[in-house]
């Protein structure tokens, strides 16, 4: 099983960062790769089980299902249902932790998935850089670097 782990420090209190990312339909408001998003069947974007259908700026379409969300522990966990990437069994978690020294936020984004072993290094790098780190870089532009 392939694993991706990316972490960063964002220069804002955890509650402010969480308010931006907790909306499962809100990716276009902070992630530069996302063009638009909608929650299927009109469900609330914080209901576990809801499905977001979004389009990347390059035109690719991805569908993901919300598996867990905690306003207490500041995490969102989701799985990919459909993607142009050659992988399966993808589950990811974006977690925030308060950094009390300076009232900053420690952010971690992890994923595990199954893929052809010959593509693992490529996919881990792609997801780590173009999805996770790009998202953290955008949040740091919004809130400030840690």
Contact 85, 123 (CB under 8 A): yes
Residue range(s) defining the domain that contains residue 82: 2-143
CATH number for the domain that contains residue 96: 3.30.530.20
Q: What is the dihedral of CA 61, 63, 68, 72, to 10 degrees?
A: 30
Distance CA 84, CA 33 (A): 15
Question: Percentage of the chain surpassing pLDDT 70?
Answer: 99
Note down pLDDT in tens along the chain; length 146 residues: 999 999 999 999 999 999 999 999 999 999 999 999 999 999 999 999 999 999 999 999 999 999 999 999 999 999 999 999 999 999 999 999 999 989 999 999 999 999 999 999 999 999 999 999 999 999 999 997 76
Q: How many domains does the chain have?
A: 1
């Amino acid at each position: 099983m392939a694993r991706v782990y990316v972490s960063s420090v964002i220069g804002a209190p955890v509650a402010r960062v969480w308010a931006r990312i907790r909306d499962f339909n809100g990716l276009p408001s902070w992630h530069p790769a996302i063009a638009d998003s909608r929650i299927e069947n009109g469900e609330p974007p914080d209901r576990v089980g809801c499905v977001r259908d979004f389009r990347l700026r390059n035109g690719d379409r991805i569908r993901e299902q919300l598996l867990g969300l905690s306003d207490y522990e500041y995490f969102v966990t989701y799985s990919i249902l459909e993607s142009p990437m050659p992988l399966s069994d993808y589950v990811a978690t974006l977690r925030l932790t308060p950094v009390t020294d300076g009232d900053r936020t420690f952010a971690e984004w992890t994923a595990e998935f199954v893929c052809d072993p010959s593509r693992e290094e490529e996919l881990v790098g792609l997801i780590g850089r173009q999805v996770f780190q790009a998202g953290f870089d955008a949040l740091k532009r919004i809130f400030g670097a840690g």
